[in-house]
Structure 1
C-alpha cells in the first residue's frame, strides 16, 4: 500500500464522532444534509461522508477534508463565523451532548472508492455499509503503518474488506482551537460493503482465519495502547462515501 492522496482536497482530514441526545440524530442529519454540506463546501472543504453509527443510535459520524492546514483554518473560520452556521447553530447544538470526539488525520491511502469532491451526491439512503476501525497507537514513529500495510491489509482484503481509505494521525497544532481535537495517535481504516450481510460474511471469514487469530490479531493488540474502536456506519441520504 503506497502513500497516496489522489484528491487535492484531502491532505488533511477531520474524523468527527458526535454523541447526541436520545432521539435527536435524525434532526441533526436533516440539518446537516440540507444546510451544512454545501455550506461547508462553499468554503473549500470536502464533506466526504456522513453516517449513522449502526451500533449506537445516538452517534453521528462524519469525515471532511481540506487541501492543507492553512486551508483548514481559513475554511473553518469562514464557515463557523458565517451565515449558514449562524442561522442553524442553535438547532444543531441542541442535538449534541458531546462534539469533541474529533481526530486530525492525514491519508495514508485513498483508493478509487473514496469520493472526489465532484463525485455524485445522491439523495436516498441505500443498503451499503461503511465499516472499519480506529487503532490507538503508541507513537507516530512506531512503524504501525508498515505493520498494518504488510500484515493487516492482506488479511482484511482476503476476507472481503479491502480498505478504501486509510488515515493516520497528523501531528500538528490545532489551528482552529474553537473545535477541540483528541490528543491521540491513531490509524483509522474504512472499507465498503454492499450491505450488512456482506459485512457479516467478512466477519465470519476473518474470525475463521488462522493467520488473523494466531499471528496478526495478537500483534495488533500488542502494538495498541487500548482496544480498537470498530465502526459500522450507514451513509446518510447525501453522503458521497457509500
Structure 2
C-alpha cells in the first residue's frame, strides 16, 4: 500500500508505557483497527514502533495540518465508533499514555513529510526494516536560531556521515494544547531529533565510532538542561516510516 504524503506542520510524538507482555497485543490492535480510520479523518499516522530497549514501550508519530484540524480530527476519532468499539481493549494494555510532545518542524523542510514509504496492507505482521533513533534533548530555553544552525551545520552532517539515511528536527509547538482529553508535555522546551538507519547494525556502528560524542555533543551541550533521552525504535509491520 502506497503511503500518501500529507503535510504535517504539527506532529505528536507519543510514547506509551504498557503492562508487561501487552505490547504485541496493542500493536496488533493498532495496526489492524486504528490506521485507516484516523487517516480518513485527516490525520497522518506517520509511524509505529517497538522500543528496542524497553519491552513495555510503544511509540508512535501522528501528524496534522494545523491546530484547528487537529482538534476536529481528534474529536471525531475519539468520539467516533472505531475508538468506542476498541478503546477498552486498547486502554487495558496501557499503564500510562501521557508521555507526549506536540511538535513542529524546527525550520522549513526539517520535518519528515519528504519520507514517503510503503505501508503494508492490513493483516501484515512482524517488523519493517530500519532503526529509528528518536532523541529528546531537554533545553534550558526554547530553541534559538543559533541552536538550529548547530543542528543544520554540525549535528546533521555528523549523523549523515555516520550512516543515517534520513534526519528530521522538531521543536515544541508553542500554541497550547486545545484537546484536554489527550495531555501534552507543554512546559518542557525540547529539541527532538529523528535519524533513520538501515538497520540496528548500522546504528551500532555509528555509536561505536564515537563521532557523536567527539564532534556533535560539545556543540550541543551549552543549550541542554539535562541528559538527552535516546530511544531506539523498530518499525512495526504497518509503519509507513521505515528504511
TM-score where L is the length of structure 2: 0.88
Distance 1:31 1:59 in 2: 15
Match of 2:132 among 111, 130, 133: 130
Task: Tell whether the 8 Å contact from 1:11 to 1:65 is kept in structure 2 after alignment.
Answer: yes
Q: What do the CA deviations read for 1:186-237 (whole angstroms, capped 9, x no partner)? A: 11121222211111111122x1x3xx44553133233111111111111001
Task: Tell whether the 8 Å contact from 1:9 to 1:45 is kept in structure 2 after alignment.
Answer: no
Task: Tell whether the 8 Å contact from 1:127 to 1:196 is kept in structure 2 after alignment.
Answer: no
Match of 2:180 among 177, 181, 190: 177
The answer to whether 1:66 aligns with 2:64 is: yes
CA-based RMSD of the aligned residues comes to 1.9
Distance 1:36 1:165 in 2: 25
Structure-2 residue corresponding to 1:226? 226
| Pairing of 1:181-200 with structure 2 (within 5 A) | 181-183=184-186, 184-200=188-204
Structure-2 residue corresponding to 1:35? 33
| Structure 1: gaps spanning 5 or more residues | 1-6
Distance 1:66 1:149 in 2: 24
Task: Tell whether the 8 Å contact from 2:128 to 2:239 is kept in structure 1 after alignment.
Answer: no
Q: Displacement, 1:57?
A: 0.4
Distance 2:97 2:143 in 1: 29
Structure-1 residue corresponding to 2:158? 155
Distance 2:102 2:45 in 1: 15
Q: Displacement, 1:113?
A: 5.7
Task: Tell whether the 8 Å contact from 1:14 to 1:104 is kept in structure 2 after alignment.
Answer: yes
| Pairing of 1:79-94 with structure 2 (within 5 A) | 79-94=77-92
Structure-1 residue corresponding to 2:98? 100
Task: Tell whether the 8 Å contact from 2:101 to 2:185 is kept in structure 1 after alignment.
Answer: yes
| Structure 2: gaps spanning 5 or more residues | none
The answer to whether 1:78 aligns with 2:80 is: no
Distance 2:51 2:94 in 1: 15
Distance 2:104 2:150 in 1: 17
The number of residue pairs the alignment matches comes to: 230
